[in-house]
Amino acid sequence: MATSLADEKRYLSEVAARVDEILDRYLPSDDEEPRSLHAAMRYSVTSGGKRLRPILAWSAYKYCGGKDETAESSIHPAMAALEMVHTFSLIHDDLPCMDDDDLRRGRPTCHKKFGEAIAVLAGDALINLAFGLMGQTGSAEAVRLLSDALGTGGMLGGQIADVEAEGKAVDRDDVIGIHRKKTGALIRASIHIGAVLAGAEETKVNRLSQFGEKVGLAFQIVDDILDIEGNQELLGKQVGSDSKKDKATYPRAVGMDTARKDAAVLIDEAVALLENDENNPLVGIARYIGQRQN
Residues found near ligand IPE in the complex (CB under 6 A): 49-50, 52, 86, 89-90, 93, 99, 101, 105, 155, 159, 182-183, 220, 223, 227, 237
**What 8-state DSSP symbol labels residue 2?**
P
Q: Which residue is nearest to ligand IPE (CB)?
A: 49
Of these partners, ligand IPE, Mg ion, none, which one is at the site of residue 213 (CB under 5 to 8 Å by kind)? none
In angstroms, what is the minimal distance from the CB of 271 to Mg ion?
A: 24
Of these partners, Mg ion, ligand IPE, none, which one is at the site of residue 183 (CB under 5 to 8 Å by kind)? ligand IPE
CA 50 to CA 114: how far, in whole Å?
23
In angstroms, what is the minimal distance from the CB of 134 to ligand IPE?
A: 18
Residue 168: phi and psi, rounded to 5, are -100, 160
SS3 124: helix
CA 282 to CA 287: how far, in whole Å?
9
CA 22 to CA 80: how far, in whole Å?
6
In sequence order, what E strands does the chain have?
103-104, 107-108
In angstroms, what is the minimal distance from the CB of 219 to ligand IPE?
A: 7
Of these partners, ligand IPE, Mg ion, none, which one is at the site of residue 50 (CB under 5 to 8 Å by kind)? ligand IPE
CA separation (Å) from 118 to 123, 131, 199, 219, 288? Answer: 8, 20, 39, 29, 34
Q: What residues line the site for Mg ion (CB under 5 A)?
A: 93, 99, 223, 227
In angstroms, what is the minimal distance from the CB of 101 to Mg ion?
A: 6
- HSE at residue 150, side-chain half, CA atoms within 13 A, is 23
- CB-wise, 104 or 214, nearer to Mg ion? 104
Of these partners, ligand IPE, Mg ion, none, which one is at the site of residue 214 (CB under 5 to 8 Å by kind)? none
In angstroms, what is the minimal distance from the CB of 189 to Mg ion?
A: 19
- CB-wise, 210 or 241, nearer to ligand IPE? 241
In angstroms, what is the minimal distance from the CB of 201 to ligand IPE?
A: 29
Q: What angle do CA 287, 288, 291 make, to 5 degrees?
A: 90
- CB-wise, 93 or 213, nearer to ligand IPE? 93
Q: Which residue is nearest to Mg ion (CB)?
A: 99
Count helices and strands (H / E) in the chain: 16, 2
